[in-house]
Amino acid sequence: MDKGQGDYVEKLEKENDADNRASKRQKMDIVLEDPKRPVEAVQKGFSFLRERMLTDQSLLGYLSECSALPDEIKQGMREGQDFVSSGRAIKAILRHGPEECRKLIDFIRGSQLHADFKEHLSTVDVDSEKFNLSIETVYDHRTTLYQEMEPSLMADILLEKLVLNIDEHDTVERAVTRKEKCEALLLLVQTHKDNIQKFKLALKKCGCSSVLDEMKEKMPEIPDDPLDCVKRTYRLLHQKIQKEHLYEYIKKKESDQELPDSSEEIICSLMKSPKGCRDLLYYLRKENLSLFYEVMEKYKLRRDGKTVIEQGEHTVDIGNVLCELEFLKTEMEPIPFSDILLEENMILPPLHQSVHQESSHKIQAEMILEKLQKDFEKKYDEAEEKFERQMFEMHRKFDMPGHKPKSTPLRYENPPFDTKEIEKEFKAPEIEHCISKLKWTAVLEKLKENRNVFKDCLSHSYTLSHYDGEEKFALKTQSIAFNEGMFPSAMVLSIEIFSSKIDLKEKQQEIVKFLNSDSTLRSRISRFLHMRVDKAESPLVLHLTSLTEKASQRLLSDNDHVIQKLIKMLLDMMNITISLYEESKSLEIHVTITESTSDSNKQEDSHFIKVRIQQYWDLLVQELEPRQLVLCFVKEGLMTKPEEQIIRSCRQRQTMVAAFLKILLKASEERTFEYFVQLLRQLNKKDIADKLYCRDTISVHQDAETARQNILLHLDEVLENTDTYITEQTLRKRDDSIIPESVWPNSGFSRKGRAYTLLLFVFEDDSLVLEFKNALQYRRFGHYFQNIIADTTEVLQEKNVDTMQKKLSENTVFECTYRAGIRAGYDPAARNKDFVPVVSHDYIYDERYRRGRRVWQMEEFFGHPDMYYRRFEMMRRPMRRHLGVASKPATNEPEEKKKFVTKHKTVAAIDFGTSYSGYAFSSQENPLEVVTGKWKTNSSELLESLKTPTSLLFKSNGLVESFGYEAEQKFKALVEENKHHDYRFFYQIKKELLGKHRCDENLVVFDHMGRPMDAEKVISTAIGYLFVECKDAIAEKKFDKDDILWVMTVPSLWNNFAKQFLRKAAEKAGIPRKQLILTLEPEVAAIYTIKGSKPDLPSDSGDQYVSGTQILLVDLGGGTADFTLMGVAKDGGLEVLHEAVGGAWGGTTINARIWEFMEELLTKDVIDEFKKQTSDYLDMESNIELKKRDLSANNKLLLLVYPSLASICKDKTGKTYKTLVEESEHAEDVKVRTGKIIFEPKMIEKIFERTLKECFSVMDEILQGNGKNVKDIILVGGFSESEIIQKQFENKYSKYHLIIPTDPGLAVLKGAVIFGHDDTMVERRISPHTYGVETLQFGFDTDPGDMKKVISGTTFCSGTFHKIVSRGEILQVAQNTEVDVFSPKISAKQLFLKFYQTDKKGIQCVADEGCDYIGKLTINIEEPPFGVEPLVRLFFKFGEIETTVEGKEVLTDKPVKTDIDFLERKP
């Protein structure tokens, strides 16, 4: 068809449309005049009548008097519920049928509405969308419809078009949420699928044109290269995708995709593989079709469009970029920059993900720049080589040797080759394109022009000394006066400096200039003043506004330290140190603070609903139907025509709602917000209205004020890490017209200057502060708001100054006179720390490295080419300045582990056991050849033992007599001779440390007669014996006896108190502190089984243990039974998979059980009396200990009946022991022979039954929980040598492979030695409890009076529990858990933290039940920062066997001394 034919067809279509409209008008006239069709006329005019009821008083008056309307609807109309009542009124008339509808038509015919009503009925909806909509298409795009439809308005239109009836319209209206309304409407549309084209027209009329555009197009297919698609559209996905929803979708989907810990990095995680990207795109197509279309459209443009190199002229030179790497590192926003580099395919997803996972701005920037540096250096070298080839060709062509210049220089009118093409080779269009897209205009100018272009930085700036003048100047307060109780939020601080020798006028003017223009300096002042500098005036007058409620109290408290810090910093800036030093003079300084009379710039919320709107912003965007709201607001006169046009110009519902809310937030009238809530109630959104109308703004303000304090505490870090993404997230709910332009990258401000401007704007509004907090938390900077406020008992010394007696004027807050001079001992010539002006943002680089002005520009070609070539040689091969990267991107390849990493030549282990103890050792050369100690028993049954009893004998004067077997033998002899009363005998003393949940270092143990003795002395003496014996044995073996690492074993159930108590006792015994480590018994037993022993292993065990293998380690010792679930890590190390469990179910429980049965056989009185016969009792106890290990399932236990026991039976009961046994309930299972009591096999089972039941119960719980994949159970410990124990375990757990290593009783001891040679074998552990500290919180008037504490003018609330790690949390060995501790007192030198533990969830207060005090941490700051509150960053290692903590002061970056004391008595 030619053009003429096309125009003719278009003309015919227009004429047909005109004819249709005329025909429609004629039909509507018939409808109005036909007495049988009034219902149709009213229904077709539904939306017209509903809207006019809001503005036409005559129509409203008619309906108010209409008898067909119920009183409920009339009452609603009288109460102002016009919008909802109007729809109900019209539907009520429709329900009454033709008669009432005719009356309404007659009223309209006689009113001014008649013409408009006829026009409305005759309006023809032209279907300009040339496609037929199907119900299948509607179903495919339902998620988009759920997002974009305004179902109430759609229902009105479909009612008008006679698609829905009144009842169906009610069905939509009754739904509560907008999504429920959409679902109800689509179900009705499906039942009326014959009218689907009318649904299409309704969508167009409702403004859902974007949805129709999607429906017209064929749904795009998932690209063949989904990874490339996600990469090229990453920023769009990152900005618009609902990450939490995507995270849950991928999580529920049966996929082997490895997910990150949080939803924030879900897109980066999916980009690890094409499959993950395909899953992401499938998710979009299913759950967010609108975004899917947008992504596909953008990808098509990016894929098919020209590359950036082909577009336009580029002026940024590679040399400039390489010379400005340090500048880029400072000004770069790494996260946005890495995103756009990913889209431009300049970095790969692994590096991009590493940048996102790293939290340090510096390291992020270095990662990116290291990659760019390598790429650009390579490109630069290639350009050089190309240029050299061109030069060579030129010399060859003109017969000009490269190193022989001719006497007469040749001149060319034109260059011998195309310089523009060579010039392009030295350009960096990619980086220029990326920076331009990010709108970093100042950065781009810097790369082009090499000059400072930042508006908030002068051409010169001062480099402050580390202490801001603290180490240079000393201030002496001459006089001081306060106007008590006066703390204005805005004030004027005037500083007058008097000197007879030094002219300070120009220096002060320079400082004022800096204060008014340099954002870095202003932010530094805000950091310690907690105020902003609104302006500075000469000579030195600062107009200040508080950034927090308590800023003025803080400024005037703590002996004016903050004011002194400000003065010292200003003096330091004046560069007068040398002058003062040479003149040996001092300055007189007068400081006056007055209340400001100027208006504060701080904006106050006009209504509490403003705060709630921003708090529930996402909910409102999801639920509101904007056209309804706009209609009602315009009717009420609460919205102007331009504002209405702004909202209606938006193409999507969500953007319309956002625009509406932004306009609403700009309103100042309270009536506006009251009406908004009222309207929500009318629209059946009572829940949302109730949320918005909650008047509890105190908690919001308290949260915001606490956030302000924390932000100022971390101000430097906050400014460092705030980027455009955080700015956009914070301000997304605010209208652009009220946002300062200087927060955006194209403003010309420096990166930190933009962040500081944002901060000042944010601090004016509580809701913005909380938005900023949420944005930082989303980016994993939540630790800024989790500071622990430590207690301090430090008392600052009062100054010896004269207090001014004169009365201050009414608006004067503070007056003070100082005498300033050089601090004693400071020599400026030696230290050379005065200020020197340096060029801002200029960094040192290799002088040989030429910047972007190429030497082959046109004018250079009029010189000698050979000379030109030599000049080129001078700039070739510049010295490369590689950036030092602090951390490398994560890789999946584990680092190669060394077999043994000990630095000590000998490792010795001491197993301080409940019943028996021992030692062992090995050398660095042969770590697996473990030598154990040996003791003579003087027993006929056992001549030599590898362990000795943990028994001690002291003399009456407290001196030790003997240890082990020797102690037991001597004590037995003393008892027989009745001389034991003057001695003190201790055994099984280790039991005293088990289960001691909270005690102190004054713990005592009791001897054989119940007399107490200091537990530390007893235990240290026992360890001392083992220590000396072991050292002697090492010397005998001729091992190195000086360089020894000592390892002590502890049960896994021991708490921090018991571990620290044992360490203290070991150190008292003589073991050097730095050469002593503790280790957990089950862990080292597993290490011995896997590494050091030769047990009966299955074919798939032992050396064949692979990553993911699970092992259940059962350590049955003398006192305790420990159960530890362990796994094999990827690199072959071990990891604990379940928190330590167990109890006092060791071998001693069998002894105790036998004595319980003896009491049942012979009565308790008899046994109690027999125990007093110490010698015989100890003999019998030793006999039981030896025989229980040899018991088997069918064996009998024979116990000798000592004459003393037989005699006591006769004396106490009048019966022989034989009679007592025969009369007992166990007569069938216990027999008596001459001088013996015999326990039959059934009785043996009863003796072991209780202990086995406890053990099996714990094991079943583990195996049915985290240990479902366990195949091997390792049995170790002295008690595991019992045949009965082994048999019962085999029967109970027959489907598992039971592993019993060689010498199971020595597994712990030998494993400890192996562990000492390589303490990296265990990689992860589980936290057994929730640990936390008591922290102060910023206090408010609502806090209980007994919990308030005022420090430095600031009110705090005490008693809050701050959790550090949770029970069951996986703890990486050697991993630091960072915690920031804030001092409430300026320049404090000592801080205290009280430690607590709990096994309950939801603990908020340290006074809550189940929260137990366990110790105290003391932090000593030798050199605290002057004039500010110290901020200490603590590094806890909870994954170690002993909890340790180190720290540094953040502001000075100096280490602090920490002392954690778990032995301290609860205060």
pLDDT digits (tens, 9 = 90+) for 948-985: 888 899 988 888 889 988 888 888 888 777 787 888 88
Instruction: Supply the pLDDT for residue 50.
Output: 82
Percent of the chain predicted with pLDDT > 70: 82
The larger pLDDT score, comparing residue 1455 to residue 35, is at: 1455
* Cα-to-chain-centroid distance, residue 709: 19
pLDDT beyond 50 at 849: no
Instruction: Supply the pLDDT for residue 887.
Output: 35
**Using 50, 70 and 90 to split pLDDT, how confident is the model at 466?**
very low
Instruction: Supply the pLDDT for residue 410.
Output: 36
Cβ neighbours of 457 (radius 10 Å): 22
Instruction: Supply the pLDDT for residue 918.
Output: 92
Instruction: Supply the pLDDT for residue 800.
Output: 43
* Mean pLDDT for the chain overall: 79
Cβ neighbours of 1410 (radius 10 Å): 11
Instruction: Mention every residue, 6+ apart, whose C-beta is less than 8 A from residue 805.
Output: none
pLDDT tens digit sequence for 631-658? 889 888 889 999 999 999 888 888 999 9
What b/e string do you get for 1143-1161 counting C-beta neighbours within 10 Å, with b at 16 or more? bbbbbbbbbebbbebbebb
Residue 676 tokens, joined: 């908004």
Mean pLDDT of 1154-1182: 83
pLDDT tens digit sequence for 123-160? 777 666 667 888 888 888 888 888 889 999 999 989 98
Q: Return the CA Rg of the chain.
A: 43
Instruction: Supply the pLDDT for residue 1131.
Output: 74
pLDDT beyond 60 at 874: no
Instruction: Supply the pLDDT for residue 758.
Output: 95
In the block, tokens 């394109």 appear at: 433
Residue 1045 tokens, joined: 């690492």
Instruction: Supply the pLDDT for residue 246.
Output: 82
Which among 199, 52, 38 has a CA at the least distance from the CA of 125? 199
pLDDT tens digit sequence for 724-752? 999 999 998 888 888 999 999 999 899 99
Range among 1047-1051, 1283-1287, 1428-1432 rated most confident:
1047-1051
DSSP state of 1224: S
pLDDT tens digit sequence for 349-398? 999 989 998 888 889 999 999 999 998 888 888 887 877 777 676 666 65
Tell me how far apart the alpha carbons of residues 1453 and 1450 are, in angstroms, rounded to a whole number.
5
By DSSP bridging, strand 490-498 and strand 541-546 are antiparallel
The vertex-567 CA angle with 566 and 569, nearest 5°, equals: 65
Q: Where on the phi/psi map is residue 1029: left (φ > 0), alpha (ψ -120 to 50), or beta? A: alpha
**Using 50, 70 and 90 to split pLDDT, how confident is the model at 1027?**
very high
Which among 224, 229, 234 has a CA at the least distance from the CA of 342? 234
Residue 1320 tokens, joined: 């990296």
Instruction: Supply the pLDDT for residue 1172.
Output: 76
Instruction: Supply the pLDDT for residue 1137.
Output: 86
pLDDT beyond 90 at 1071: yes
Looking at 584-652, list the stretches that DSSP marks H as alpha helix, in order from N- to C-terminal side.
608-615, 617-623, 626-635, 641-648
φ, ψ for residue 911 (rounded to 5)?
-100, 95
φ, ψ for residue 1031 (rounded to 5)?
-60, -40
In the block, tokens 């002291």 appear at: 954
φ, ψ for residue 1299 (rounded to 5)?
-110, 125
Q: What amino acid occupies position 1321?
A: M
Host H or E run for residue 285: helix 274-287
CA dihedral (1053, 1056, 1057, 1063) in degrees, to 10, reads 100
Instruction: Mention every residue, 6+ apart, whose C-beta is less than 8 A from residue 361.
Output: 334, 720, 721
